[in-house]
C-alpha cells in the first residue's frame, strides 16, 4: 500500500513539474477588420488567438509560421470586430434566474461579450458573474456595482426586491446614506460584495455625492452616477468626478431654474429650453465632462421605449427621445465619450439583444458609424475600467470577437448579421442559438 502511495505521489510530482501545455491557437484569417478604436476598416487581416488571448493581429500575408499547428477559421467575405458591450443592464431586480439566463444567452450569441450590470441583487449577479467567467453558462462577462442613496429613497419597492432578507437600506450592496453615515465604512462594506464600482443613485445632496465619490475612488472603486441625483444637480454630480454618468435627459435639469428635490418628486423637463439649438448650460456641462474624462451612458433607448408605451396607451409622446438624441449629439460634438447602454432588454421573442437598438439610436442621433461601434466596444470597456482587457482587437487583450456577414460601417442594421461570437477564445456559432429558436 505504501509503495502504491509513493508511486502515485511520484506520478503527481512528474505532472506538476512538467512544463505547461501551450494554449490552443486559432487563426481567424482573411477578415475585413474593424478594430474598435475608430480606425478605418482593414481588409484581408488575420487575428491569432492563443487560449483566451489575442496573440497577434496583422495582414494575412504576414501570417507565415503562425499557421503551423493552428486551427484555421477562414473569414473571407466576413467582417470581424470586437465583442459588443452593453454598458447599462439590470439582471436581478428581483432575481429571476430563467429570465436572466435567457437574456444572457441571447446577448452572447448576439455578439455581446460583456455587460455592466447597474445595481441588482448582488447575491444573484455575483453567482451569474462567476458562472459566466468560467464558461459554466453561455453569457457575457458581468461587472456590477453596489448602490447608495438617501434614506428617503428606500420607500421604492425595487430596493426591497433587490435585497430580500434585509431591512430597506441596510444590505451591503444597497445602502442608505445620510450626513451621519460613516462613509469609509459604508464604502468598505460595498467593496466586500465584490462590486467593481459604487453607483450613486438618488436623494443625496451635492456635498454627500462629492464625499461618496472621493471615498469610493480612494478605496479603488469606480464611481457611476445618475446624471442628476436629486437634489444634487447635474453640475454637482459632474463636479464630484464620477467615471460615468447615466441617462442623458437627467442632465437637462441643469438648464432649468427649478429642479426636483427628490427622485420621487421628479417633474417633466421644459423642452422649450432646448428648442433653439444648443443650450448654454449644457454646453458648459459637457465641456466640464470632457475636461474630467467623464463618460456619458446616454440610454436613448429608455426614452424611446417609454414613448412607445405612451403610444400603446393612447397618449401622446412628449419628445423625450428627440431631446435625448439632440443632447447626446451635442455631448459628442463637445468631445464627451459616449457608451452604448440600454437599461433594458428586448422582448422575449426578439432574436437580437437591445444594445443593437441603442447603437442604431446613437447613429440616428448623428454619431458616425465608426464612433457608434466604438461606443459599443472600446468606450463600453472604459465604463468598467477594462479597456486593457477588452473593447478593441489588439495583442494581449481577451479574444472577445464578433464575426458579421455584412459591414456595419455601411449600415448599423448589419450588426444583426452575427455569424459567430468568440468570448475568451471560445466559439459560439450563431447557428447554435438559431437551432433552439426553431
Cα–Cα distance between 131 and 289 in angstroms, integer? 36
Evaluate whether 397 touches 52 at the Cβ level (below 8 Å).
Answer: no
13, pLDDT greater than 90: no
Left if phi > 0, otherwise alpha if psi is -120 to 50, otherwise beta: which for 400? beta
Beta bridge partners of 114: 85, 141
Query: Tens of pLDDT along 381-415?
Result: 999 999 999 999 999 999 999 999 999 999 999 99
A 10 A CB-CB count for 174 gives 29
Cα–Cα distance between 11 and 161 in angstroms, integer? 52
What pLDDT was estimated at residue 438? 61
Helix or strand (DSSP H, E) at 330: helix 320-333
Cα–Cα distance between 285 and 255 in angstroms, integer? 10
Evaluate whether 114 touches 432 at the Cβ level (below 8 Å).
Answer: no
What pLDDT was estimated at residue 310? 87
Cα–Cα distance between 259 and 268 in angstroms, integer? 10
Helix or strand (DSSP H, E) at 147: strand 145-149
What pLDDT was estimated at residue 435? 81
Closest to 119 (Cα-Cα) out of 139, 85, 148: 148
User: pTM score > 0.85 for this model?
Assistant: yes
Flag the least confident range among 9-13, 20-24, 133-137, 311-315: 9-13
**Nearby residues of 405 by Cβ (< 8 Å), 6 or more positions away:** 77, 78, 79, 414, 417, 418, 419
Read off the DSSP letter of residue 358: H
Beta bridge partners of 423: 426
DSSP for 267-328, please give it. ----GGGGTTSS-HHHHHHHHHHHHHTPEEE--HHHHHHHHHHHHHTT----SHHHHHHHHH
Helix or strand (DSSP H, E) at 420: strand 418-423
Helix, strand or coil, per DSSP, at residue 385: coil
> Cα–Cα distances in Å, from 225 out to 11, 34, 147, 175, 203?
55, 31, 9, 15, 12
Query: Tens of pLDDT along 149-198?
Result: 999 999 999 999 999 999 999 999 999 999 999 999 999 999 999 999 99
In order of start, what are the domains of the chain with their CATH numbers?
83-390 (3.20.20.140)
- 191: cell is 467593496
Flag the least confident range among 271-275, 328-332, 363-367: 271-275
Amino acid at each position: 500500500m505504501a509503495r502504491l502511495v509513493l508511486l502515485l505521489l511520484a506520478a503527481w510530482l512528474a505532472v506538476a513539474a512538467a512544463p505547461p501545455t501551450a494554449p490552443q491557437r486559432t487563426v481567424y484569417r482573411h477578415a475585413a477588420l474593424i478594430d474598435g478604436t475608430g480606425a478605418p476598416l482593414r481588409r484581408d487581416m488575420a487575428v491569432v488567438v492563443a487560449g483566451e488571448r489575442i496573440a497577434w493581429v496583422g495582414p494575412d500575408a504576414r501570417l507565415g509560421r503562425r499557421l503551423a499547428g493552428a486551427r484555421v477559421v477562414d473569414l473571407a467575405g466576413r467582417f470581424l470586430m470586437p465583442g459588443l458591450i452593453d454598458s447599462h443592464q439590470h439582471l436581478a431586480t428581483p432575481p429571476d434566474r430563467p429570465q436572466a439566463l435567457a437574456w444572457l444567452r441571447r446577448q452572447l450569441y448576439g455578439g455581446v461579450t460583456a455587460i455592466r450590470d447597474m445595481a441588482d441583487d448582488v447575491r444573484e449577479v455575483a453567482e451569474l458573474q462567476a458562472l459566466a467567467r468560467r464558461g459554466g453558462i453561455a453569457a457575457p462577462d458581468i461587472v456590477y456595482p453596489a448602490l447608495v442613496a438617501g434614506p428617503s429613497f428606500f420607500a421604492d419597492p425595487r430596493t426591497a426586491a433587490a435585497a430580500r432578507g434585509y431591512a430597506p437600506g441596510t444590505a451591503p450592496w444597497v445602502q442608505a446614506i445620510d450626513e451621519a453615515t460613516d462613509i469609509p465604512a459604508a464604502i468598505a462594506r460595498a467593496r466586500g460584495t465584490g462590486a467593481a464600482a459604487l453607483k450613486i443613485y438618488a436623494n443625496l445632496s451635492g456635498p454627500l455625492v462629492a464625499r461618496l465619490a472621493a471615498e469610493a475612488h480612494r478605496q479603488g472603486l469606480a464611481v457611476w452616477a445618475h446624471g442628476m441625483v436629486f437634489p444634487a444637480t447635474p453640475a454637482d454630480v459632474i463636479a464630484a468626478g464620477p467615471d460615468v454618468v447615466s441617462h442623458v435627459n437627467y442632465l437637462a435639469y441643469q438648464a432649468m431654474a427649478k429642479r426636483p428635490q427628490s427622485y420621487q418628486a421628479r417633474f417633466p423637463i421644459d423642452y422649450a429650453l432646448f428648442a433653439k439649438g444648443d443650450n448654454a448650460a449644457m454646453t458648459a456641462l459637457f465641456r466640464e465632462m470632457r475636461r474630467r474624462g467623464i463618460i456619458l451612458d446616454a440610454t436613448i433607448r429608455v426614452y424611446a421605449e417609454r414613448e412607445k408605451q405612451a403610444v400603446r396607451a393612447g397618449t401622446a409622446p412628449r419628445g423625450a427621445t428627440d431631446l435625448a438624441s439632440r443632447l447626446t449629439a451635442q455631448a459628442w460634438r463637445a468631445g464627451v465619450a459616449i457608451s452604448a447602454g440600454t437599461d433594458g432588454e428586448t422582448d422575449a421573442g426578439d432574436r437580437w439583444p437591445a444594445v443593437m437598438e441603442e447603437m442604431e439610436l446613437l447613429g440616428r442621433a448623428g454619431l458616425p458609424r465608426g464612433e457608434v461601434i466604438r461606443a459599443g466596444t472600446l468606450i463600453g470597456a472604459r465604463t468598467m475600467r477594462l479597456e486593457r482587457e477588452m473593447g478593441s482587437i489588439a495583442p494581449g487583450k481577451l479574444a472577445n470577437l464578433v464575426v458579421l456577414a455584412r459591414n456595419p460601417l455601411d449600415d448599423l442594421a448589419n450588426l444583426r448579421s452575427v455569424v459567430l461570437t468568440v468570448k475568451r477564445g471560445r466559439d459560439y456559432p450563431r447557428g447554435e442559438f438559431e437551432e433552439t429558436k426553431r
